[in-house]
Every structure is written in structure tokens, then in C-alpha cells.
Amino acid sequence: MDQIDATLIRLLRENARLSVSALAGACGVSRGTVQNRIDRLLRDGLIQGFTIRQSAAATPGVVRAVTMLEVGGGKLPQVVRALRGLPEVAELHTTNGRWDLVVDLAAESLAAFDAVLRRIRLIDGITNSETSLKLSDKV
């Protein structure tokens, strides 16, 4: 991956709807070069897809939270599989330090959030957790 690839990825992260022409202009290369590079980045798995990011304002009433999980007994793969099966899990990351996993949650209501948090805490292998509600994205 070179500087042009890095620039393409940065631009697409900022706005995945940019045209190939706009990307080519921003990178100072031809449209064909951009298309070939995007095709290669997709083929090599460096880009896994194109998506949008919604603001919290676009989904009012949704309860968002970050949950940190400690996993014991070598059960990380089983815990990850169980978490990936929950529709409220928006993102899942391994991490270092005290916690083994960081989970971004999004639930339709406080009752739904409470229910998913209870389900998570019952997953075999989770030994400790800490959850923080996301109150505002306007910081």
C-alpha cells in the first residue's frame, strides 16, 4: 500500500460516495488508476465494503453504550461468536489492558438495552464488565 492507496482510503472514509473522478482529482491520478486501485484494495481485503455513518440525531431514541468485557478461561473465541449473534452489537473490538473486549451497543429503548446487557453478562466466559452510556455525540 502506497501513499495513493492511503489517500484513497482516507477520502472514502470521509465520504464513501465520492465519484471515481473526484477521487482521481484529489489524488492527482487518472480515473482508470483510481478504479484499478479500488478494485485491488477490495480484492486484497484492505477495503471490505462501503457504508454510511449515521449520527445519533438520525436515530433518536436509540440507546448507545460502550461495554468493556473481561473474558476468562480461554473462552474469547466462544464469547466473540456469541456477541456477534446479537443484533444490538454495533461494533466489537479486542483490546489490551484490563479489558479483553470493547463492545459498542445500540438498542431501541432502555428496556431493550437492559435486556441485551443481561444476555451479555450471562455469556459463559465473561467474568467482569463495565458499561458507559453514550450521552452526546456533540462534544
Domain ranges of the chain: 3-43, 56-133
Q: Check residue 128 and give its pLDDT.
A: 96
Residue that has been written with the C-alpha cell 477490495 in this structure: 42
Under 8 Å between Cβ of 56 and 92? no
- In this predicted structure, the answer to whether residue 65 has a pLDDT above a threshold of 70 is yes
- In this predicted structure, the answer to whether residue 58 has a pLDDT above a threshold of 60 is no
CATH topology classification for 3-43: Arc Repressor Mutant, subunit A (1.10.10)
Q: pLDDT digit string (tens) for 99-118?
A: 999 999 999 899 999 999 99
Q: Which CATH code is given to the segment(s) 56-133?
A: 3.30.70.920
What pTM does this model have? Answer: 0.62
Q: pLDDT digit string (tens) for 67-94?
A: 999 999 899 999 999 999 998 998 999 9
- The residue that leads in pLDDT, 36 or 139, is 36
Report the pLDDT averaged over residues 33-43: 94
Of residues 61, 111, 114, 65, the one with CA closest to residue 91: 65
